[in-house]
Structure 1
């Protein structure tokens, strides 16, 4: 079935003529958003691009200057390009309607793109040589882009007075027992440091190796999913591992024991119950593919449109995919580009984005001291800060959280057994068992740095009170 693509040549001509007569029409908001792809007629698209280039150079776009920017052999029916431009200008009535013309053309272009996407999907479905999944994916991504552009155009400007009233209303609602502003990350220690995580914020969780940055991130995602629609990307762990770790947090039965099947019938029942509870969580997606920033942006757009996504988690920045010359850049350059784009995405999609990052190379390479006791003291008291993390924290991050767990660092410093140094080490290991810290290393809206002690459960890779303790406490005070 051949469908005629919607177009309106007369409106295209009216818009071009209005802009040729008076370049002020080019400055109108709707008109300034037009691109060559919004024109159905090829020569109109070329005229439009020539006009915009001339205007950008600070010159006046009129039939004479535009003619000089186009090939002289271009013909429109029996008219030369010079004659056609002159007619467009002569037929122009007013520039007042230019924004309406532009809106009409954008709507028609959306319809053409939608029809073409549907036709390409139909071809992929009918052609046995094509992968239907590729066709569906391409059509979905194109339709998501179209919807996103339409929503951006329909987003109405809000006056400053209305902004203040809206902010005041939300504050008053929270103060009188309504919902808090932003999303509760699910740990009292984080709430005490950062407060709720708000739309448009980039929350960075960064730390060294084996400090619990991924554990904290996914614990927050699953806790938040009890009340809010969330999604995440893991470049380090497959879905099975993430799910087993969350089951471990909820039951106290380690992921290792789950994998081995070393469970009693009672424990198996606990795992089954925890799994059933987790099915009710509002997790829209856990994706474990490496994504480029562009694909991540498209994915968030789709998830927000389909599920009403409220927060996105990325674990981690170092596992993003890069192409071309960017792939050859150093990690710190990639990190800066990543945090900049992620902040833009948080603002664009009006959700908090939580991203994991790691320490820069050679940070804390060793722990100096004249004696082993001094080295242990240094290890237990030297903490990273936001400047040690990969990414542009100063410009992009709204909150930077650093989980600090000294026990894995000490474990790598174990001296020979039976020595005085081993006794010192053993004492330090006992003191730090089950303990960790959360450090607010940078914040746009509260004092920093600040720290909070927090429980750490190595067997279940989780922070804070156990899941059962927290649940019992909530039921007690409900």
Structure 2
């Protein structure tokens, strides 16, 4: 027999049976669980936190579980009589009607004690079915070798889908019922009520900023922008360290940890090395000038402060990635890995213009920045964490008399302004006033300059130029340049907020 005829030879019955594999499922376990719920509604609460209707294999079982859940959550009794009104009771299941099938499920019910075991078995089988789907897609795409999905793109897509499956037990995204959305909103309000400072988001550690923003909201893209020398990296570092230092873990029912206060922070430093960042944070915490630390121009007492601070900082969950020119795809993959391995509650990227897009190197930088900001926004939603992305401002600011930044000053601004949920500008008038110092101290304008300098010295404005969830305006902060530290103003004569 030649090769061609061997390939075309018909498959015998035994071979067909051998090659056919049914997707993993256990209808008996589904029946036993549904029966337990119909007999004793408390069984539902033993599985409802992890088992969703989509995890059941049989469509009818999905519908029964969904209807029973809705009835039980309304505080009513779910049994064969109350459920059958929501189903097509005359429809046939084999040789019996749905109404009879419901009665048989309840009649053959097992002990409520086994309900969670059956629920776990059903959930595990659903995960296996999802893994099979992802695996089949990977194999098929790898065989087809489509032009629009190179191998690296396929790896990133598979990693994303596997991450979603590991995190949520499903990867299809799909629609979410409004009931679930309302429940999430109420949970968020409850968490804010219990959290320190009654914030709906994660506290930045700067109270006047939290007061205006309600903390950093999960899944938000917060763009922090400014001209060089304004202190945007300092502010981002301050916030990142404040969040990590305030971290208080809380054990969940499944053994995982969740932040009650503060959080685990990932910091992508594309401009500065991890040592430079650490020096800034140590300077801020110990009040020893960072330039003195770098030169080694410190006393023994100051050195002891540095050692004590470094020992305390080793326990802080702040993780730094100093890879330069990282692409949005690499950043996303590493962030997913960090969340799986260590947890993740906030992500900082310093800064957008030093990143590259995922596709081929494009001459169109605006298009590439659009790809980056869209990717960051999608990553924030996927990981359910706030992302603080730093951004440079165009030189147009310097040519204006009024140096206060505006949204139009964002470099390659269209997509940054559009994708951001919050846009913050850091503005230090002191930086510009200092450069206007008259050379001659006997100049009549010198006194005027000196008075202006006294007014603005040691202060900074954080301008909230855009905020989806709240008002815009300006928050006045104190800035200690020698320690690169932003803090709340101690002097009550200063107005913390200015409405726009």
TM category, shorter: 0.5 to 0.7
- Give the whole-Å Cα distance in 1 for the aligned partners of 2:203 and 2:384: 16
Structure 2 gap ranges (5+): 1-17, 24-53, 56-125, 141-151, 248-262, 491-500
Q: Counterpart of 1:464?
A: 487
TM-score w.r.t. the length of structure 2 is 0.60
SS in 1 for 2:398: coil
- Give the whole-Å Cα distance in 2 for the aligned partners of 1:427 and 1:101: 71
1:255 to 282, 287, 290: 290
Structure 2 residue 217 is matched with structure 1 residue 195? no
Q: Counterpart of 1:455?
A: 478
Distance 1:220-1:149 versus aligned 2 partners, 3 A rule:
closer
Structure 2 residue 482 is matched with structure 1 residue 445? no
1:338 to 351, 365, 372: 372
2:188 to 170, 180, 190: 170
- Give the whole-Å Cα distance in 2 for the aligned partners of 1:411 and 1:341: 39
Q: Counterpart of 1:414?
A: 437
Matches within 5 A, 1:72-87: none
Q: Would the aligned equivalents of 1:231 and 1:311 in 2 still touch at CA under 8 Å? A: yes
SS in 2 for 1:464: strand
After TM superposition, give the deviation of residue 324 of structure 1 in Å. 6.9
Question: How many aligned residue pairs are there?
Answer: 338
Structure 2 residue 213 is matched with structure 1 residue 213? no
SS in 2 for 1:446: coil
CA-based RMSD of the aligned residues comes to 3.5
TM-score w.r.t. the length of structure 1 is 0.63
Cα deviations across residues 293-339 of structure 1 (Å, max 9, x unaligned)?
Answer: 11111111111111111111000001113577644224x44433322
SS in 2 for 1:289: coil
Q: Which has the higher contact order (CA 8 A, sep 6+)?
A: 1
Cα deviations across residues 171-192 of structure 1 (Å, max 9, x unaligned)?
Answer: 1343356774321111112102
2:342 to 300, 307, 313: 307
- Give the whole-Å Cα distance in 1 for the aligned partners of 2:136 and 2:127: 14
Distance 1:260-1:465 versus aligned 2 partners, 3 A rule:
farther
SS in 2 for 1:290: coil
Matches within 5 A, 1:294-373: 294-322=329-357, 326-330=361-365, 332-367=366-401
Q: Would the aligned equivalents of 2:134 and 2:158 in 1 still touch at CA under 8 Å? A: no
- Give the whole-Å Cα distance in 2 for the aligned partners of 1:12 and 1:279: 51
After TM superposition, give the deviation of residue 454 of structure 1 in Å. 0.9
Distance 1:177-1:434 versus aligned 2 partners, 3 A rule:
closer
Distance 1:276-1:103 versus aligned 2 partners, 3 A rule:
closer
After TM superposition, give the deviation of residue 400 of structure 1 in Å. 1.1
Q: Counterpart of 1:78?
A: none
Distance 1:401-1:175 versus aligned 2 partners, 3 A rule:
same
Cα deviations across residues 147-199 of structure 1 (Å, max 9, x unaligned)?
Answer: 32534762586421132123213313433567743211111121022112122
